[in-house]
Structure 1
């Protein structure tokens, strides 16, 4: 089942169960997917859909961080709920050990030896872990290994 089909099915369920917040989040994601499809001019692949979903999740996490710094508890709880809903559609995240193994293997594949090679390493790793790991965590692991 594609992401869009899953969203449509869950949207119907949310409407029946009168889950307003879940319905709102699903509609926002569907809108983002449709906008991306229009922008690209072709049907979105599963990877493209995952990229859009990842972007939506990252925006909310960044907002959550800012709201927590500003002590806006009224907005923090709402965003946490939205993040939880979005995470249901993401693939299972890699554990830190699995991610570290991928980082080490990729560093040896590209022959990286210093921090100057971080671009090569990140370029090779990100397609492998797309949607399965946070980019900032990957970046931190790569930096640790290249020191």
Structure 2
């Protein structure tokens, strides 16, 4: 089942269950996906939708942190509840061992030997790990491998 169809089914289920937080979050996700489709005049693939959902999670994590810093616990809790809902549509995160194996494979496939090959390695890994790991942490991990 396509990810957009999963979201629509979950939206119907949330309506039936009268789960306002889940329903609102799913509606927000579908709206963000539709907006991106309209802006780019394309139909998003599952990988594109994962990128949108991942971005939504990151935005909510940042907002929750800012609310915590400002002492607004009720708003931070709302952001975290939305993160929980969105994460149910994301694939399971990769373990450190799985990431290391993927990095090794990408470095071998691209013949990467130094920092000048960073783009090649990231380009090969991004579609495989989108939505399953923090891209910033992945980038740092690749840099340390290429420098080491």
- Deviations 1:86-107 (CA, angstroms, capped at 9, x unpaired): 0000112211110111112212
Q: Which whole-Å CA distance do the structure 2 matches of 1:66 and 1:126 have between them? A: 28
- Match of residue 28 from structure 2: 28
TM-score (norm 1): 0.88
- Match of residue 115 from structure 1: 115
- Match of residue 135 from structure 2: 135
> 1:104–1:145: 8 Å Cα contact kept in structure 2?
no
Q: Which whole-Å CA distance do the structure 2 matches of 1:13 and 1:38 have between them? A: 26
> Does the C-alpha gap of structure 1 residues 24 and 117 become closer, same or farther in structure 2, counting only changes over 3 Å?
same
> 1:90–1:131: 8 Å Cα contact kept in structure 2?
yes
Task: Report the more deviating stretch, 76-85 or 5-14.
Answer: 5-14
Structure 1 consecutive aligned stretches of length 4 or more whose deviation exceeds 6 Å: none
Gaps of 5+ in 2: none
Superposed CA RMSD in Å reads 1.8
Aligned length: 147
Task: Report the more deviating stretch, 106-115 or 89-98.
Answer: 106-115
SS of 2:38's equivalent in the other structure is helix
Gaps of 5+ in 1: none
> Does the C-alpha gap of structure 1 residues 64 and 115 become closer, same or farther in structure 2, counting only changes over 3 Å?
farther
Tell me how far 1:135 sits from its aligned partner.
0.4
> 2:118–2:142: 8 Å Cα contact kept in structure 1?
yes
> Does the C-alpha gap of structure 1 residues 119 and 72 become closer, same or farther in structure 2, counting only changes over 3 Å?
farther
Q: Which whole-Å CA distance do the structure 2 matches of 1:69 and 1:109 have between them? A: 44
TM-score (norm 2): 0.87
Tell me how far 1:65 sits from its aligned partner.
2.9
Q: Which whole-Å CA distance do the structure 2 matches of 1:123 and 1:32 have between them? A: 25
Map 1:69-84 → 2, pairs under 5 A: 69-84=69-84
Q: Which whole-Å CA distance do the structure 2 matches of 1:142 and 1:3 have between them? A: 29
